[in-house]
Structure 1
Amino acid sequence: MASSDCSKPPSTQSVPFKSKGMDDISHVLDPDGDVIIVLEKSTENRPTDASSNDSPDNEPKEEDPEEKPQGIRIRVSSKHLALASPYFKRMLGPNWEEGKSLRATGTTSITATDFDLDALLVVLNAMHGRQDHLPRKLSLEMLANVAVVVDYYQCHGVVDMAKELWINNLKPSFPTTYTENATLWIWVAWVFSAAEEFESATTLAIRQCPGPFSPLGFPIPSVVITLRSHLISQDELSKKIEAAIDIIHTSLDRLLIRFRDEGTACSFNCNVMLFGLLSFAMHKRRLIKDSGTLMVRATSIYCHSRRKTFQNMIEALREIESEEPRVPRLHDSYESSKSRCGLRGYINSLIDDVEGKIAGLSLSAFQ
């Protein structure tokens, strides 16, 4: 997934650090810093999925010690790290080797692995109070990578102000169907406690995910990955989906009866028009009657799973809801105008009812 819309953090001062046989270009966040963070195995855009390393072609090869990469070196301040992150506070304390080295020699190095370099620099700049070095906009994928660093180092507070700006800038492009972006939103919302986005993204996953949920290599907790284990069992979810499908069947059936028998619309002509329009739309979209009961024809709407069936039915209802009926004008049988009556209100109410029965997860339930 490209991240071309990501505003990269402004370049920090780069200086060479001498090491055995090579010069390392490092970023300096504090010229007087007493800690060197060495980033090894920097990722490109996304954390590595361990499953991708199972191929025989990925067997580890012997490395020449003289050619072993030294990593990207970043000079930082131990005081800023310890103040911003409980993780670094423990590591630089008296009980860890890094802390012992710092006390004995006045400097130490810390190895970081599997982080995106730009995401790591964003977080380290925030830790050092370098607000002018923080980008105003991030792509969704880069924000997900920033969330990986924040979550690992337990430093949520340093990006409290910036995260609101980053998330708000991304809201207009929030997905309306289940794609990889929905998974990224689940991760971002989980780390940054964005309750509304978390519920919306998990709603998409629960309703539309065609198979087992994939975290895409991000460390989403298992209770969220299952999307059900914490709040709802697989069996209970299936029952909810079946109940929602039954509601669609029953509601459409009752709506036809109302138009036919009860005079729901403003006039007899409108009742006839709405009855015919709904009947035609249901047949057109394979929401048809069979033996007196509405059903979904197996060759079209009923697809690979009941969850897919439900989503296709909702899409069919939205198509019906958008149709505007037209009725003949009394003074001119050859012209027509939009009727004041329509299906929109009835179908909207039905969609709201059934979608409310299969909602996403509440972030507060995990806290």
Structure 2
Amino acid sequence: MAPRKTKSDENTKLILTAAMANPHPPYQIDPDGDIILFTPKASLIDITKGNVPGNYSRFQVSSKHLALASAYFKGMLKNGWAEGDALSTKGFAEIPVNDCKPDILLIILNLIHGRLRQIPLKLSLPQLSDIAVATDFFQCHEVVEVFAGIWIKALESLVPSSFSQDMKIWMMISFVFKSPGIFKRTTKIAMQQATGPFETSNLPIPKPVKDAIDKAREECLEKFELLIKEHILRLLSGPVRCSENCDAAHLGVSLGKMMTMKISSSLNTSRSSESGCAPSITVDLRGFSPDSICSMIKEWKTKLRCSGHNPCSNTRKPFGDDGKMRAERFFSSLNGLALDL
């Protein structure tokens, strides 16, 4: 007696029949699967990197596995959506997966289907970045996170210590896969070294993270602006720190130093009362990183010779007794973000 055909057998036959029209039949992650996922362009997948050989860009998979592991596919496969309607009426569906490389999609799908022996234990940083982006898009964090920990540990020595595109990539990876140490380290770099509003470069870094980085940087620069203004006004209007000649000379050197660094400033000496003029100064540090301004303040030195007090307070402590300590304290407050911000 011939074995009785089941609905699953019929669905599989329909899928495989439809696949024959394509020059590249689907790679069977689940031979009984009722979904064909395909990417827009085929690309060579190297088996030596833990993937399948051949020019595969189409994958036969299970709708149940997809819906269980991925909030993205769970929503798509409900009735009322074209894909869900096709699945319920025809018993199968073909779904395009745009902007996802076949090798990256294959790793995600193997994880979703529990094919753990097919998962590579090492990835390049671009591959890990692509998987993090795909994980965020498909909303399948739970099935990826165990291997993500392995991949991150193998590459952690590559986390940069300076502001760069790779730093942004690591920030995104650490946020998607909940790696608090790397996230704190990379957001600290962004706060301290960015020279303007933080740009995410189209990476899935949430807006609250960007806003928190920008707010911390801007508040620190505002404190530095106040410190510099206090220094200039002290030399301009007293009380005298060393001598009138010494204070005036250091005022000129300070304004010249700011011009050399292209720090925008303006001085206003408009009359405010019968007693005389009340000078005010504005300093604009936009376009600078807190790191560069803190270093400038800490290393502020002049070569002026003072014939007055010895040692000269303007030379020894140009920003006052605690100015440099205040600058270091402001800068140290830029200590990165926690994942639960």
User: TM-score if structure 1 supplies the norm length?
Assistant: 0.58
- What SS is found at the alignment partner of 1:177? coil
Deviation at residue 86 of structure 1 after TM alignment: 2.4
Deviation at residue 157 of structure 1 after TM alignment: 0.3
- What SS is found at the alignment partner of 2:288? helix
User: Is the Cα–Cα contact under 8 Å of residues 242 and 306 in structure 1 kept in the other structure?
Assistant: no
- What SS is found at the alignment partner of 1:37? strand
Aligned match of 1:65: none
Moved more, 126-135 or 190-199: 190-199
Deviation at residue 237 of structure 1 after TM alignment: 4.0
User: Is the Cα–Cα contact under 8 Å of residues 195 and 286 in structure 2 kept in the other structure?
Assistant: no
User: Is the Cα–Cα contact under 8 Å of residues 167 and 186 in structure 2 kept in the other structure?
Assistant: yes
Bigger share in strand: 1
Task: Tell me, yes or no, if structure 1 residue 131 matches structure 2 residue 116.
Answer: yes
Deviation at residue 23 of structure 1 after TM alignment: 0.6
Partner AA of 2:158 in structure 1: S
Aligned match of 1:276: none
Moved more, 124-133 or 289-298: 289-298
Deviation at residue 359 of structure 1 after TM alignment: 2.9
Map residues 91-170 of structure 1 onto 2, 5 A cutoff.
91-170=76-155
- Provide the rounded CA distance (Å) in 1 between the counterparts of 2:257 and 2:43: 47
Identity of aligned residues (%): 31
- What SS is found at the alignment partner of 1:23? coil
- What SS is found at the alignment partner of 1:75? strand
Task: Tell me, yes or no, if structure 1 residue 356 matches structure 2 residue 302.
Answer: no
Task: Tell me, yes or no, if structure 1 residue 308 matches structure 2 residue 308.
Answer: no
Distance 1:309 1:103, change over 3 A: closer
Distance 1:318 1:360, change over 3 A: same
User: Is the Cα–Cα contact under 8 Å of residues 37 and 112 in structure 1 kept in the other structure?
Assistant: yes
Deviation at residue 243 of structure 1 after TM alignment: 2.6
Partner AA of 1:26 in structure 2: P
CA-to-partner distance for each residue in 1:50-83, whole Å, 9 max, x for gaps?
xxxxxxxxxxxxxxxxxxxxx9311111121122
Distance 1:34 1:18, change over 3 A: closer
User: Is the Cα–Cα contact under 8 Å of residues 241 and 358 in structure 1 kept in the other structure?
Assistant: no
Deviation at residue 199 of structure 1 after TM alignment: 2.1
Deviation at residue 303 of structure 1 after TM alignment: 6.4
Deviation at residue 244 of structure 1 after TM alignment: 5.0
- What SS is found at the alignment partner of 2:183? helix
Task: Tell me, yes or no, if structure 1 residue 290 matches structure 2 residue 250.
Answer: yes
Partner AA of 2:79 in structure 1: P
User: Is the Cα–Cα contact under 8 Å of residues 38 and 109 in structure 1 kept in the other structure?
Assistant: yes
- What SS is found at the alignment partner of 1:115? coil
Question: Any gaps of 5 or more consecutive residues in structure 1?
Answer: 1-14, 45-70, 251-288, 321-348
- RMSD (Å) for aligned C-alpha atoms: 4.0
- Provide the rounded CA distance (Å) in 2 between the counterparts of 1:201 and 1:363: 12
Distance 1:243 1:151, change over 3 A: same
Deviation at residue 28 of structure 1 after TM alignment: 2.1
User: Is the Cα–Cα contact under 8 Å of residues 37 and 61 in structure 2 kept in the other structure?
Assistant: yes
- Provide the rounded CA distance (Å) in 2 between the counterparts of 1:107 and 1:307: 55
Map residues 1-367 of structure 1 onto 2, 5 A cutoff.
18=19, 20=21, 22-40=22-40, 72-228=57-213, 232=215, 237-243=217-223, 290=250, 297-298=257-258, 305=285, 308=288, 310-312=290-292, 353-365=329-341
Partner AA of 1:363 in structure 2: L
- What SS is found at the alignment partner of 1:109? strand
- Provide the rounded CA distance (Å) in 2 between the counterparts of 1:43 and 1:228: 38
- Provide the rounded CA distance (Å) in 2 between the counterparts of 1:120 and 1:319: 51
Aligned match of 2:274: none
CA-to-partner distance for each residue in 1:181-219, whole Å, 9 max, x for gaps?
111112112211222222221222222223343322323
Partner AA of 2:27 in structure 1: H
User: Is the Cα–Cα contact under 8 Å of residues 198 and 362 in structure 1 kept in the other structure?
Assistant: yes
Deviation at residue 38 of structure 1 after TM alignment: 1.6
CA-to-partner distance for each residue in 1:4-32, whole Å, 9 max, x for gaps?
xxxxxxxxxxx997465x51253221122
Aligned residues: 256
User: Is the Cα–Cα contact under 8 Å of residues 27 and 74 in structure 1 kept in the other structure?
Assistant: yes
Distance 1:140 1:247, change over 3 A: farther
Deviation at residue 176 of structure 1 after TM alignment: 0.7
Partner AA of 2:333 in structure 1: K
- Provide the rounded CA distance (Å) in 1 between the counterparts of 2:33 and 2:129: 28
User: Is the Cα–Cα contact under 8 Å of residues 111 and 119 in structure 2 kept in the other structure?
Assistant: yes
- Provide the rounded CA distance (Å) in 2 between the counterparts of 1:306 and 1:296: 18
